[in-house]
C-alpha cells in the first residue's frame, strides 16, 4: 500500500504496483551518481534509489529488463521531489 502522507509514490513495474520514496538514503545515492550519464541510465539509477527508499529490493539489472511506462516513471520521479 502506498502511503502518500510519507511521500511515497506508486509506479507499476511488470504489472505490479511498486513504492518509490525519496528518503535521505535515496537522496544520498542520487547525489553520489557519477556525472555524465546518459539520460536513460540516469533515470534507471534514480528509480533504483527511490525504490530502495520505498523498501523495494528491485535491482538495476531487474529494472533494466522490466516492463514499465517511461512517462509514468518520469512523472513518479518528479512527484517524489515535489514539496507540498
Domain ranges within the chain, ordered by starting residue: 4-81
* pLDDT single digits (tens) 7-40: 999 999 999 999 999 999 999 999 998 887 678 8
Q: Judge whether residue 6 has pLDDT over 80.
A: yes
Round to whole Å and give the CA distance between 49 and 77.
10
Q: What is the predicted pLDDT for the residue at 40?
A: 83
Q: For CA atoms 70, 78, 10, 20, give the dihedral sign.
A: positive
The CA-CA-CA angle for residues 11, 61, 10, to 5°, reads: 10
The pLDDT of 39-49, averaged and rounded, is 91
Of 65, 74, 61, which is closest to residue 14 (Cα–Cα)? 65
pTM of the model: 0.90
Amino acid at each position: 500500500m502506498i502511503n502518500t502522507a510519507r511521500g511515497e509514490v506508486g509506479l507499476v513495474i511488470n504489472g505490479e504496483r511498486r513504492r518509490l520514496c525519496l528518503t535521505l538514503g535515496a537522496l544520498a545515492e542520487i547525489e553520489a551518481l557519477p556525472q555524465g550519464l546518459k539520460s536513460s541510465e540516469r533515470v534507471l539509477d534514480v528509480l533504483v534509489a527511490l525504490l530502495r527508499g520505498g523498501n523495494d529490493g528491485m535491482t538495476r539489472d531487474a529494472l533494466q529488463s522490466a516492463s514499465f511506462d517511461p512517462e509514468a516513471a518520469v512523472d513518479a520521479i518528479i512527484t517524489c521531489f515535489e514539496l507540498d
